[in-house]
Amino acid sequence: MVNAQRLKQNLEEISKFGALEGGGLTRLAFSKEEEMAKKYLINLAKNAGLEVQVDGIGNIFATLKGSDSNLPPVATGSHLDSVKEGGFYDGPLGVICSLEALQTIKEKQIPHLRDITLVVFSCEESSRFNHATVGSKAITKKLNLSNLKEIKDKSGISIYQAAKSCGYDIDNLENQTLKDNQIYAFLELHIEQGPVLEAKQIPVGIVTGIASPIRYELTLNGRADHSGATPMSMRKDALVCASEIIIAIEKCAKAYKTAVGTVGFVEATPGVLNVIPGSARLGIDLRDICKDDLIALDKDVTNAIKQICSNKDISYELKELSRSFPVKLSEKIIKTLENEALNLGIKTLNLPSGAGHDTMNLDCAASHIGMIFIPCKDGISHNVKESIKIEDSVLGANLLTKTIITLSNEV
């Protein structure tokens, strides 16, 4: 159904923005590399005859008009930003497959009642600001202008400033937010970012739910002393305290069936060989697909931090960066995907997503939300070795296209 060669070519071309010599790419949110990728995508959309708009946070909306624009639209898309030294497919695959779906529907003159909109969300990754899915949160009122001014990167630049520097009308953002049920259905195609589909040799996954994170920045305040002159019994080593907390978080997460706990970064100060670390800063990420277990894990981790710091006589500050809970995806879309896959002869597997996605923030703005997964080699993602089979992406794009057609013709 879709044009496989065009899909492959567009993926290759958009992968050039931020590409690294050794493979993979770095395309952080609001960077010049992401802005170039966005401009490339906008040109593709306009050349395909789509109507393009960009909002105050840099989200792109490219629309194929239906015969009844009074009906709430069907939307599909993902993101173009990446983690540092990431892969080519986390985000862009969903964007390019969604664009290909709209181009196919337009070129084949397939009738559809509802408008169909490609959405490219800004700042999905947390690599720059330690805050994920910013674009989708902003348009669903889960982040406001005050929040966007407070959240800053390591250089002290806020999301508000970064968006402003790219020329986005962020001061008008609150007039561009989505109302409840303003979208009829939203679908996102994405790489799995895990090993299940490849291990089972299944080309397409149908997502049943999305795990969501609780994230913290933990600052530990000990005392910097001479590494040779300070006895072990008299030290207040912030990095030793951090190490015990890291191990405790791993232990806490393992106590639950599907929970995961990660310390993604540790920064020790002053960070020199012959000085005991006086302070340490940690990034903590807790996730689960079960809400009750996530709440329990959060309590276990915060209690462990309190106890360890007390034992080590280390003061601490635990700053909550974000708190969201698992989202169940729409049974209606799951069933529609299953039916369309059966009609297309595509083998699928229903599975949850351990990673967060923009889709989870549209649970109120869209009446129905769903996701399609494509396998990635060895389950590797957020890594320059991220890899897919193009034939899997074509199957996913075909399923996406057929499902969009069905949803866009429902009354």
Annotated binding site for allantoate: 215, 274, 287
Sequence-separated (6 or more) residues with CB below 8 Å from residue 108? none
The residue ranges of DSSP E strands in 165-277, in sequence order, are: 183-191, 204-210, 212-221, 260-269
Q: Are 401 and 346 spatial neighbours (Cβ–Cβ below 8 Å)?
A: no
Q: Are 355 and 211 spatial neighbours (Cβ–Cβ below 8 Å)?
A: yes
- Which residues contribute to the annotated binding site for Zn(2+)? 79, 90, 125, 190, 382
- Interatomic CA distance for residues 309 and 94, integer angstroms: 43
Q: Are 311 and 274 spatial neighbours (Cβ–Cβ below 8 Å)?
A: no
- Interatomic CA distance for residues 76 and 68, integer angstroms: 18
Bridge-based pairing state of the strands 60-64 and 116-121: antiparallel
- Interatomic CA distance for residues 208 and 290, integer angstroms: 12
Query: Count of CB atoms within 10 A of residue 393's CB?
Result: 27
Return the amino acid letter for 314.
Answer: I
- Which residues contribute to the annotated binding site? 79, 90, 125, 190, 215, 274, 287, 382
